[in-house]
């Protein structure tokens, strides 16, 4: 090898990979999601190498694990089962003769589905018998085989959990018996032609009993277990194990905690189903401990939209298990719907995330700071080679502790979300608010009652915030995966070596000196996991007895080796520790570490216990990425298979979908603190799509999710654009508003805009959605360009439907739009404003000087302004003449545009409308300023040219009229005689002027003169304005 | 009582094997970690490249639109050559 691998990889980091995109999305790509520690990839075949006679146990574990895997697949099959019967066609009367064909077809379709159910029935029978056999083999008091190990315990519990879940699902899904009865009916129709249907019929009856009996699987399991009456031992051990793990709650991540909580009530029922053993159970586990656990968690999530309640299970099962029905204390536990109101409030306080937000926020802030600083130290450590040992060990140890804490935080938070969901599902809202929906209340789905109306605005906010925390912490931890893994391995290696080499050494020399059997276990532990070569101070295990006096100096001199123990090593270590403390006797009263029957000193027991639980957490740490993946997976928030079935619809509308509700909440509330989490709900879709494909393995679910994502992403982008546009428009409007006005105004604050930040959103060039990369920024830019054009078009259209006086308002609104454009252009590459304006004005062409505004203006002048307005000389204003014909009647009213086409916020729009109202009834200098500004030097000459043409045409048109009037004049008018006085003169003049006949013409001429005058005055106004603008 | 580790008579052999195993696994985990680093790098590289390409694309887009406008303007001029004479 020419270049060492490390150097080559390290050289990669010299590439600059700066990326402007902020992390506002959760994990989208997992580098690897393989579990090589929590699930042994080689099925513990290496356990045999340690020669602990665990062969039987290993075989049993692998068998159970295969069953668990199969069972999970069955469960997802049942969970995603949708009724086929609903889709079956009805035959019209005209085709009754082919009824038999239809039956046959239907039978064939249903037969496929029913064969799957039959498979489940067969599987559960074999699984139950295998589990029972397994338990029997390992619970014999005389112990012919080694085991069961802790891993074995877990496999048993998990298989039991799978069986319980299957049973629960089978009870809950109504469509299955429904489909089955249809199937049976078609079978009786079809089978009339067949021979030898007895076996089939028998099988059918069997399946029917299985499907229609509640808790058939558990009953069967019970029967299998107690065929020979020897499993109570192991049941009790399992119960003790569950209770202790739950009470300690250290090494449990939420999926395991939920598993234990689900299994415990079933275990209790099974263990107390024979009289003599129920007493011995309560001797080992006080009933109050059980009651406490059941009371603390009255609802436990089982499936995304299906929960379990221990109290309800206990009650229901008591009618099947006669012996259990005497356990009155367990049976008086209140099921979720019977909880008394006072306790209900306590639970409410416990379950609703809203009430824990303060702590969670503090935890999040604190943790993210500490994690970042631990990371920084790691980077410093990496860059400084030859660092001294202690320092580097401290930093790595610190990193390890932080990671452990991070996992626990994530697990607690995600667990909280699961539990809140379960709680909400168990307590549907009573009265959906009818006020804001037009539909009548009968169309409410149950799902709406538990989800849509069941989360208040604050609860949605809290949920969104928490999801954001989970996703961001997960992302942060995932990003440094390759950086920290060495440190984690090293720390774990050190912990293990420290324990087996030092602590065990000490124990061997003190406590276990005289106990041959036990000391052999200890030395086995050392043999199977000690890494002597890594301990530089002693190369040979035989020498260690000589070095007793140098113990203190030796303690910290391990050569760090970044290698983690294998799953098998941890498995064996845990087994040996159990052997040690129990003395090989599972029936030992008391808990695993609780009782001091074996004569081991308390501090040694304590050390063993700590190490034991640490070992089980090592597994999660070693599966770093997979653990993060599990802990941040919130896809369950989307799934609603159970409610879909009970509501008899194909799919719920998007408003009922929790992820969309969260997006919608951000949009509606326009909370500055939430805006950056607007993409977080899309992560939920990512998670649920992943879940649908990899766990449930159902293509149709993925398709449904994809359809919803398409819709919601479109809506999201559209609404996001509107928010951004409105915000910047309001900013622009508020900037342009006269500041002296806002100062003088009593409630001027309403014209200020609450600041929002979109920087993060503008930088999103790659948003990961369902495995696709979407350039959100370019989408926003595209739509923004369109929005600006629409807005200009809207304003022009509005102007085209009003009179000339509206030009001031048009100019104001266009000014605001221009400023908006400036503000947004700081972040986005928009088309230039002048370009968009000229595009919408239709004067892009180099040779045309007219535009939409100028032609509209000229139209207005010609048809409305010049004929109908008269000049008021003192005010230098034109006002609409009272007599003039009004054209307003023909104007089509413009549809009121969306608020963001005006000034953004309502208050600002009102203010600007008030302002524009002042200019609406006259035409004067301000209007002229507006016109000059709007038309500019390009189109003004056109207007002037048109005006001059207009004047000259008016003059030409006037000439014949004036001649006609002249004709009415007398040929000559001499000096009037003054005999009649003034009145007489007037009378004579009236007699001479015979204009009455031509009064029409006179008015027309006067009118034309007025128009010409107006035009001239208009031009003089223009002159004034032009001079003041371009002096 | 079935004693745990009944077969550990050859404890020394197991010990030696375990020791060798640690060393082998050090090599393996070193390689696998570096492979993961390589892939991590590739992922990051892809991400940044995508961003950079996107920003380039954005600039090209806006240039393209400007060019389009210019083309329209030029064509409006060339179809009416009389104006310029």
Measured distance CA(A450)–CA(A425) in Å, rounded: 5
- Of A712-721, A740-749, A824-833, the least confident: A740-749
Q: Each residue of A789-816: pLDDT tens digit?
A: 999 999 999 999 888 899 999 999 999 9
Chain A contact for B81 (CB, 8 A cutoff): no
Inter-chain touch B51–A21, beta carbons under 8 Å: yes
Whole-Å CA distances, A9 to A336, A513, B26, B33: 56, 50, 17, 10
pLDDT at residue A583 is higher than 70:
no
Q: Using 50, 70 and 90 to split pLDDT, how confident is the model at A597? A: low
pLDDT at residue A551 is higher than 50:
no
Inter-chain touch B5–A51, beta carbons under 8 Å: yes
Q: Among A53, A585, A846, whose Cβ lies nearest the Cβ of B7?
A: A53
**Predicted pLDDT of residue A890:** 52
Inter-chain touch A12–B41, beta carbons under 8 Å: yes
**Most A-contacting residue of B30, B45, B51 (CB-CB within 10 A), to test interface:** B51
Name the strand (E) or helix (H) holding A635. Answer: none
Residues in chain B: 85
**Predicted pLDDT of residue A390:** 80
Question: Measured between beta carbons, which residues in chain A are less than 8 angstroms from residue B4?
Answer: 52-53, 146, 521, 524, 575-576, 579, 584
CB pairs A-B closer than 8 Å: 167
Inter-chain touch A562–B22, beta carbons under 8 Å: no
% of residues, chain A, pLDDT over 90: 31
Inter-chain touch B51–A566, beta carbons under 8 Å: no
Which residue is closest to B64 within chain A, CA to CA?
Answer: A831
How close B45 gets to chain A, by Cα (Å)?
7
How close A221 gets to chain B, by Cα (Å)?
29
Helix axes A776-800, A852-860, angle to 10 degrees: 20
Whole-Å CA distances, A54 to A49, A570, A577, A994: 10, 14, 14, 134
Average pLDDT over residues B11-40: 87
Chain A contact for B80 (CB, 8 A cutoff): yes
Inter-chain touch A524–B34, beta carbons under 8 Å: no
User: What is this model's ipTM?
Assistant: 0.85
Residues 27-46 of B with CB under 8 A from A: 29-31, 33-34, 36-41, 43-45
- Of A376-380, A548-552, A951-955, the least confident: A548-552
B31 versus A967: which is more confidently predicted? B31
**Predicted pLDDT of residue A585:** 60
Inter-chain touch A778–B61, beta carbons under 8 Å: yes
- Of A165-174, A507-516, A722-731, B20-29, the least confident: A507-516
Q: Which residue has 């250290």 as its token pair?
A: A250
Q: Each residue of B51-83: pLDDT tens digit?
A: 899 989 999 999 999 999 889 888 888 887 776
Average pLDDT over residues A858-881: 88
Inter-chain touch B5–A481, beta carbons under 8 Å: no
Measured distance CA(A985)–CA(A978) in Å, rounded: 7
Find the Cα–Cα–Cα–Cα dihedral A591, A595, A599, A603, rounded to 10°: 100
Q: Each residue of A768-777: pLDDT tens digit?
A: 898 888 999 9
Q: Using 50, 70 and 90 to split pLDDT, how confident is the model at A73? A: very high
Q: Among B5, B18, B33, whose Cβ lies nearest the Cβ of A482?
A: B33
Question: Measured between beta carbons, which residues in chain B are less than 8 angstroms from residue A851?
Answer: none
**Predicted pLDDT of residue A846:** 78
pLDDT at residue A668 is higher than 80:
yes
**Predicted pLDDT of residue A160:** 94
Inter-chain touch B54–A143, beta carbons under 8 Å: no
Inter-chain touch B76–A845, beta carbons under 8 Å: yes
**Predicted pLDDT of residue A94:** 76
Question: Measured between beta carbons, which residues in chain A are less than 8 angstroms from residue B38?
Answer: 9, 12
**Most B-contacting residue of A9, A570, A762 (CB-CB within 10 A), to test interface:** A9
What value, to the nearest 5°, has the Cα angle with vertex A265 and ends A264 and A268? 85
Instruction: Indicate left, alpha or beta for A83 from its phi (over 0: left) and psi (-120 to 50: alpha).
Output: beta
| CA A733, A735, A741, A743 torsion-angle sign | positive
Average pLDDT over residues A177-193: 85
Q: How many CB atoms within 10 Å of residue A546?
A: 10
**Predicted pLDDT of residue A556:** 47
- What is residue A772's three-state secondary structure? strand
Q: What is the pTM of this model?
A: 0.88
Inter-chain touch A51–B10, beta carbons under 8 Å: yes
Question: Measured between beta carbons, which residues in chain B are less than 8 angstroms from residue A579?
Answer: 4
pLDDT at residue A50 is higher than 90:
no
Of the candidates A622, A481, A492, A485, the one whose C-alpha atom is nearest the C-alpha of residue A560 is: A492
Measured distance CA(A421)–CA(A417) in Å, rounded: 6
- Coarse DSSP helix, strand, coil percentages of chain A, rounded to the nearest 5 percent: 70, 0, 25
How close A685 gets to chain B, by Cα (Å)?
21
Mean pLDDT of chain A: 84
**Most A-contacting residue of B34, B37, B71 (CB-CB within 10 A), to test interface:** B37
Q: Each residue of A389-429: pLDDT tens digit?
A: 788 888 999 999 999 999 999 999 999 999 999 998 888 88
How close B75 gets to chain A, by Cα (Å)?
8
pLDDT at residue A236 is higher than 90:
no
pLDDT at residue A654 is higher than 60:
yes
**Predicted pLDDT of residue A543:** 41
Measured distance CA(A385)–CA(A380) in Å, rounded: 9
**Predicted pLDDT of residue A604:** 83
DSSP A993: -
pLDDT at residue A196 is higher than 90:
no
pLDDT at residue A361 is higher than 90:
yes
DSSP for A276-308?
Answer: HHHHHHHHHS-HHHHHHHHHH-S-EEEETTEEE
Inter-chain touch B77–A844, beta carbons under 8 Å: no
- Of A536-550, A562-576, A584-598, A1005-1019, the least confident: A536-550
Q: How many CB atoms within 10 Å of residue A428?
A: 15
Boundaries of every domain in chain B: 27-78
Question: Measured between beta carbons, which residues in chain B are less than 8 angstroms from residue A21?
Answer: 47, 51
pLDDT at residue A128 is higher than 70:
yes
pLDDT at residue A148 is higher than 90:
no
Which residue is closest to A831 within chain B, CA to CA?
Answer: B62
Q: Among B15, B23, B34, whose Cβ lies nearest the Cβ of A9?
A: B34
Q: Among A485, A529, A576, whose Cβ lies nearest the Cβ of B18?
A: A529
Which residue is closest to A843 within chain B, CA to CA?
Answer: B73
Q: Using 50, 70 and 90 to split pLDDT, how confident is the model at A474? A: very high
Question: Measured between beta carbons, which residues in chain B are less than 8 angstroms from residue A5?
Answer: 30-31, 34
Q: Using 50, 70 and 90 to split pLDDT, how confident is the model at A1017? A: very high
Which residue is closest to A785 within chain B, CA to CA?
Answer: B62
How close B30 gets to chain A, by Cα (Å)?
8
% of residues, chain A, pLDDT over 70: 90
pLDDT at residue A82 is higher than 60:
yes
**Most B-contacting residue of A16, A36, A51, A626 (CB-CB within 10 A), to test interface:** A51
Question: Measured between beta carbons, which residues in chain A are less than 8 angstroms from residue B10?
Answer: 51
**Most B-contacting residue of A482, A560, A571, A626 (CB-CB within 10 A), to test interface:** A482
Which residue is closest to A523 within chain B, CA to CA?
Answer: B11
pLDDT at residue A470 is higher than 90:
yes
**β-strands A922-923, A877-880 pairing:** antiparallel
A282 CB burial (10 A radius; 0-12, 13-18, 19+): middle
Q: Each residue of A500-549: pLDDT tens digit?
A: 888 888 888 887 777 777 788 888 888 888 888 766 544 444 444 444 44
């Amino acid at each position: 090898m020419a270049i060492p691998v490390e150097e080559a990889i390290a050289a990669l980091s010299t590439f600059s990979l700066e990326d402007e995109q902020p992390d506002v999305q959760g994990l989208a790509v997992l580098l690897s999601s393989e579990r090589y520690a929590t699930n042994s990839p080689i099925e513990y075949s290496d356990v045999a190498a340690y020669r602990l006679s665990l062969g039987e146990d290993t075989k049993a574990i692998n068998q159970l694990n295969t069953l668990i895997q199969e069972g999970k697949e069955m469960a997802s099959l049942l969970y995603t089962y949708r009724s086929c019967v609903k889709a079956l066609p009805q035959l019209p009367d005209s085709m009754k003769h082919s009824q038999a064909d239809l039956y046959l077809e239907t039978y064939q379709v249903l037969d496929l589905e029913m064969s799957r159910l039959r498979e489940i029935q067969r599987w559960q029978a074999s699984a139950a018998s295998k589990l029972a056999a397994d338990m029997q083999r390992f619970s014999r008091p005389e112990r012919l085989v080694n085991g069961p190990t802790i891993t074995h315990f877990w496999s048993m519990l998990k298989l039991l959990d799978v069986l319980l879940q299957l049973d629960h699902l089978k009870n809950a899904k109504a469509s299955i018996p429904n489909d089955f009865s249809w199937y049976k009916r078609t079978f009786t129709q079809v089978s009339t032609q067949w021979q030898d249907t007895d076996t089939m019929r028998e099988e059918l009856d069997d399946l029917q009993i299985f499907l229609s009996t509640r808790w058939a699987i558990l009953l069967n399991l019970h029967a299998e277990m107690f065929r020979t009456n020897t499993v109570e031992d192991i049941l009790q051990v399992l119960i003790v194990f569950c209770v202790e793990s739950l009470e300690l709650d250290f090494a449990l991540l939420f999926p395991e905690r939920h598993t234990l909580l689900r299994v415990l009530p079933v275990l209790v029922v099974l263990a107390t189903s024979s009289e003599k053993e129920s007493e011995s159970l309560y001797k080992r586990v006080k009933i109050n401990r059980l009651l406490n656990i059941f009371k603390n968690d009255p609802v436990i999530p089982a499936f995304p939209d299906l929960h379990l309640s221990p109290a309800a299970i206990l009650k229901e099962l008591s009618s099947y298990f006669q012996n259990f029905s005497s356990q009155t204390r367990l049976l008086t536990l209140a099921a979720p719907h019977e909880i008394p109101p006072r306790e209900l409030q306590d639970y409410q306080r416990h379950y609703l995330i809203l009430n824990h937000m303060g702590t969670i926020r503090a935890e999040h802030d604190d943790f993210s700071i500490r994690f970042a600083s631990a990371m920084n130290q790691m980077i410093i450590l990496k860059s400084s080679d030859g660092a001294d040992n202690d320092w580097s060990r401290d930093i790595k140890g610190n990193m390890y502790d932080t990671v452990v804490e991070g996992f626990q935080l994530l697990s607690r938070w995600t667990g909280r979300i699961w539990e809140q969901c379960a709680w909400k599902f168990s307590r549907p809202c009573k009265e959906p608010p009818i006020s804001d929906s037009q539909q009548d209340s009968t169309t409410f789905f149950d799902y709406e009652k538990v989800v849509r109306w069941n989360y208040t605005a604050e609860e949605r906010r809290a949920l969104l915030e928490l999801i954001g925390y989970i996703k961001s912490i997960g992302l942060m931890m995932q990003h440094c995966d390759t950086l920290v893994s060495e440190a984690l391995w090293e720390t774990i290696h050190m912990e293990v070596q420290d324990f087996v080499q030092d602590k065990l050494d000490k124990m061997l020399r003190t406590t276990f000196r005289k106990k041959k059997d036990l000391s052999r276990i200890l030395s086995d532990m050392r043999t199977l996991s000690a890494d002597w070569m890594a301990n530089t101070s002693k190369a040979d295990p035989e020498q260690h007895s000589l070095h007793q006096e140098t113990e203190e100096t030796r303690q910290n001199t391990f050569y760090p080796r970044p290698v983690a123990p294998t799953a098998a090593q941890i498995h064996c270590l845990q087994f040996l520790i159990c052997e040690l403390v129990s003395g090989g006797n599972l029936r030992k009263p008391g808990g695993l570490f609780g009782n001091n029957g074996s004569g081991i000193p308390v501090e040694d027991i304590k050390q063993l216990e700590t190490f034991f639980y640490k070992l089980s957490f090592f597994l999660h740490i070693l599966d770093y990425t997979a653990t993060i993946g599990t802990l941040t997976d919130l896809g369950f928030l989307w799934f609603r298979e159970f409610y879909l079935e009970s509501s008899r619809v194909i799919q719920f509308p998007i408003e009922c979908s929790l992820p969309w509700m969260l997006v919608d909440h951000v949009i509606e509330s326009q909370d500055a603190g939430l805006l950056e989490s607007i993409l977080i709900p899309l992560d939920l879709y990512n998670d649920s799509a992943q879940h649908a494909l990899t766990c449930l393995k159902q293509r149709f679910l993925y398709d449904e999710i994809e359809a919803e994502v398409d819709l919601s992403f479109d809506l999201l982008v559209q609404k996001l654009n509107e928010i951004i546009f409105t915000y910047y428009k309001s900013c622009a409007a508020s900037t342009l508003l006269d500041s002296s006005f806002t100062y003088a105004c009593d409630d001027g604050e309403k014209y200020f805009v609450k600041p929002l930040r979109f920087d993060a959103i503008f930088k999103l060039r790659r948003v990961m959605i369902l495995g696709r990369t979407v350039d959100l920024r370019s989408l926003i830019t595209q739509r923004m360009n369109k929005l600006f054009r629409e807005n200009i078009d809207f304003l022009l259209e509005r102007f085209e439907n009003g009179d000339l006086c509206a030009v001031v308002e048009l100019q104001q609104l266009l000014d605001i739009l221009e400023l908006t454009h400036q503000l947004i252009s700081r972040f986005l590459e928009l088309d230039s404003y002048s370009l968009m304006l000229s595009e919408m004005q239709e004067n892009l062409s180099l040779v045309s000087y007219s535009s939409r505004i100028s032609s509209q203006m000229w139209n207005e002048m010609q048809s409305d302004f010049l004929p109908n307005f008269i000049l008021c000389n003192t005010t230098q204003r034109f006002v609409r003449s009272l007599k003039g014909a009004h054209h307003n009647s023909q104007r089509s009213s413009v549809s009121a545009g969306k608020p963001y086409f005006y000034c953004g916020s309502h208050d600002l729009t009102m203010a600007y409308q008030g302002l524009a109202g002042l200019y609406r009834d006259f035409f004067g200098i301000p209007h002229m300023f507006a016109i000059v500004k709007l038309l500019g030097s390009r189109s003004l000459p056109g207007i002037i040219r048109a005006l001059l043409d207009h004047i000259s045409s008016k003059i030409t048109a006037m000439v014949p009229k004036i001649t006609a009037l002249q004709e009415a004049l007398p040929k000559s008018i001499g000096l009037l005689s003054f005999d009649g006085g003034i009145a007489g003169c007037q009378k004579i003049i009236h007699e001479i002027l015979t204009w009455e006949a031509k009064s029409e013409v006179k008015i027309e001429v006067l009118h034309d003169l007025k128009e010409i005058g107006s035009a001239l005055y208009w031009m003089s106004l223009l002159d004034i304005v032009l001079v003041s603008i371009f002096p | 009582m079935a004693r745990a580790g009944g077969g550990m008579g050859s404890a020394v052999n197991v010990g030696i094997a375990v020791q060798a195993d640690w060393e082998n696994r050090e090599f393996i985990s070193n390689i696998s970690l570096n492979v993961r680093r390589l892939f991590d790098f590739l992922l990051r590289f892809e991400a940044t490249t995508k961003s950079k390409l996107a920003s380039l694309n954005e600039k090209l887009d806006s240039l393209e639109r400007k060019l389009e406008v210019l083309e329209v303007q030029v064509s409006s001029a060339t179809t009416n050559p009389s104006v310029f004479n």
